[in-house]
Amino acid sequence: MKQGVGRAQLRKEAKMHSALALQIKCSVCLSDFTDPVTLSCEHSFCRKCITGHMQASLGPKACPECQSPYDEEDLKSSRILRNMTFTVREHLVELKMDESTPKEGKGSSKLSEMEGMLMCSEHDEKLKLFCETDQKLVCVICRDGDKHKGHVFKPVKEAAQINKGELKTALGFLAKENGQLDHMIQQQTTEITKTEDKSKTLSARISAQFEEMHQFLRQKEDEAKKQLEKEEKKVIEFMQNNQSVINRRFMENKEKEIILQSALEIEQPDHFLQWWNEKGYPMTKNMKQKADMTPSNIKYTSRVKDLTVLPDSLFLGPHETHLKFFMWKEMLGSIKPVPESLTLKNPGQSYLKVSPGGARIRQADRVTALYKDFNPGTVSEENFQTGQHYWEIEVGEKPDWTVGVKMGAAKSAESEILLHLKHSKGYVLTCDGKDTALNTRDKPQKIGLYLNCERKQVSFYNADNMSRLAQINYSSKKPCCLTLVPGLYLDGMNSDPLTVCSYEFNTDKR
């Protein structure tokens, strides 16, 4: 009888000592408090633990226990908790010393053993088993109860070894991904530097070109620089946002890596499994692609796959390659390059007339109204597959015309990018056979066409004031040529030609 009472008393004291020890443990490092601080939500942590959590967090800081928001000013030193930790630690040491005296005999060694084991709060028994179904520690009485009927159990040490193995796999996965993320951050930093360097180079080039044109073009120089600064800001902001996403993923993964690495250092299997139940299992479960995967076939959801490093994309269009001409065509003597000349093919079509030299095209005069809707055109003899090119086509007061680019020898609408002035619909942009109406109050006398083969981009400009009318990209790898259609005859009202403008100047003036 006394022996039974002794065991009960032993268990009671062990439980009390265990509960007392838990009161002075930090929930982050699972060790006794060191320099404890208390948040406004009244939860306490080691100063080093909560500071590390704060530095690893992205965005608003939240309490690890209750997720209440806090900031650095909320960290208040807790002298009472520090003193209590010291007192409880001294008290537990004294108890162990008392229990180690010879008069206690076997009972004291059992008490010491029980103090090191976690106890079931429901049955006051040692937690010797781990329920794999519920992923939690249980005692033998819990195992036989209805709550765990049909569940799979393993001894604590075996379960801890298995789950630590899974934790190592997850840790290895995180380490690999974090290496990739770190490399991507370095790459993105390089691309940002390239953009900044390119911006500085363009800025210097713009300044030099405007210097040649002296005070007359100072105002235009400032406008071009502002455009460059705006483009640089937009491009870098876009890449920095992308870098922020990569950095956020990296910090989140790094925080998980630190937590998992710290968990692997927990030596007591039951303490580790207690942490595993509360934090480890939910964390690793969320990392997996599918919840029903077997331990031998674990796959984790990558947080790198959907990320990419954005390359340098700073570009000023024709202002980068044809800046001087776009600024002041009056100063042709000091400007190079200028709009290029073209030679139009003579299609041998009786309804079309191409001028000698191939710079003009118009519909032939007609004596009847037959084929009034027939609208033929021609293309340039030159083809373009590299470089940047700019032309100007004089359209004058014509009420109907088409100017554009054709890719390859195909005759399908999908191989053309065209700008029309339709006498009944106004300005229309055609790409991939689809028409899009353009809203513009201007009626240009000249159309500027900028072809950038490197970026696969076609731009149309009002060449009278150099404002852009439309810009579109293409994907074809075939050579491009210009296509000109003088428009419907309209009973002779649209007989004026389309003319490819050429610019001659005295190079001695340069």
What string of DSSP letters covers 128-194?
A: -EEETTTTEEE-HHHHHSGGGTT--EEEHHHHHHHHHHHHHHHHHHHHHHHHHHHHHHHHHHHHHHH
pLDDT at 485: 95
pLDDT at 344: 93
Beta bridge mates, 288: 300
CA 424 to the chain's CA centroid? 45
The Cα 331–Cα 323 span in angstroms is 12
SS3 499: strand
Beta bridge mates, 44: 38
Number of other residues whose CB lies within 10 A of the CB of residue 179: 12
CA angle, 486 then 487 then 492, to 5° = 95
pLDDT(1) > 50: no
**Which residues have CB under 8 Å from 455's CB, separation 6+?**
315, 473
The pLDDT mean for the chain works out to 83
How far separated are the first and last CA of the chain, in Å rounded? 117
Whole-number percent of the chain with pLDDT over 90: 39
The Cα 51–Cα 141 span in angstroms is 41
122-131, 244-253, 332-341 — which is least confidently predicted? 332-341
Q: What is the mean pLDDT of residues 473-487?
A: 92
Q: Read off the pLDDT of residues 392-418 as tens digits, 9 standing for 90 and up.
A: 999 999 999 999 999 986 566 568 999
Please state, in angstroms and as integers, the Cα–Cα distance from residue 444 to each residue in 125, 393, 394, 403, 461, following that order: 92, 10, 9, 13, 9
3-7, 130-134, 180-184 — which is least confidently predicted? 3-7
Q: What is the mean pLDDT of residues 348-359?
A: 88
**More confident of the two residues 377 and 80:** 377
- Full-model pTM: 0.46
Please state, in angstroms and as integers, the Cα–Cα distance from residue 419 to each residue in 361, 453, 500, following that order: 17, 18, 15
pLDDT at 232: 92
CA angle, 453 then 459 then 460, to 5° = 140
pLDDT at 7: 52
Whole-number percent of the chain with pLDDT over 70: 83
Under the banding of pLDDT at 50, 70 and 90, the label for residue 313 is confident
pLDDT at 115: 52
Please state, in angstroms and as integers, the Cα–Cα distance from residue 338 to each residue in 316, 328, 329, 449, following that order: 17, 11, 9, 12
Bridge-based pairing state of the strands 378-379 and 480-485: antiparallel
pLDDT at 506: 47
pLDDT at 300: 84
pLDDT at 5: 47
Task: Report residue 280 as tokens.
Answer: 């480890």
pLDDT(97) > 90: no
Under the banding of pLDDT at 50, 70 and 90, the label for residue 104 is very low
Whether a cis peptide bond, with omega within 30° of 0, leads into 36 is no
pLDDT at 413: 58
The Cα 500–Cα 413 span in angstroms is 23
Q: What is the mean pLDDT of residues 58-74?
A: 82
**More confident of the two residues 254 and 221:** 254
At 71, which amino acid appears?
D
pLDDT at 100: 55
pLDDT(13) > 90: no
Q: What is the mean pLDDT of residues 170-180?
A: 90
Please state, in angstroms and as integers, the Cα–Cα distance from residue 87 to each residue in 21, 23, 112, following that order: 11, 12, 19
Question: Residue 322 in contact with residue 337, Cβ under 8 Å?
Answer: yes
Q: Could you say which DSSP state residue 387 is in?
A: S
The Cα 28–Cα 263 span in angstroms is 10
Residue 226 — φ and ψ, nearest 5°?
-65, -40
Please state, in angstroms and as integers, the Cα–Cα distance from residue 262 to each residue in 31, 66, 238, following that order: 12, 21, 36
**How many CA within 13 A on the CB side of residue 271?**
19
Q: Read off the pLDDT of residues 260-292 as tens digits, 9 standing for 90 and up.
A: 999 999 999 999 999 999 999 898 888 887 756
Residue 284 — φ and ψ, nearest 5°?
-70, -30
CA 486 to the chain's CA centroid? 47
**More confident of the two residues 439 and 224:** 439
Q: Could you say which DSSP state residue 367 is in?
A: S
pLDDT(101) > 90: no
Q: What is the mean pLDDT of residues 183-194?
A: 93
pLDDT at 410: 57
Question: Residue 394 in contact with residue 403, Cβ under 8 Å?
Answer: no
Q: Read off the pLDDT of residues 491-500 as tens digits, 9 standing for 90 and up.
A: 889 989 999 9
Question: Residue 474 in contact with residue 458, Cβ under 8 Å?
Answer: yes
26-30, 83-87, 107-111, 305-309 — which is least confidently predicted? 107-111
pLDDT(164) > 80: yes
pLDDT at 408: 81
Under the banding of pLDDT at 50, 70 and 90, the label for residue 4 is very low
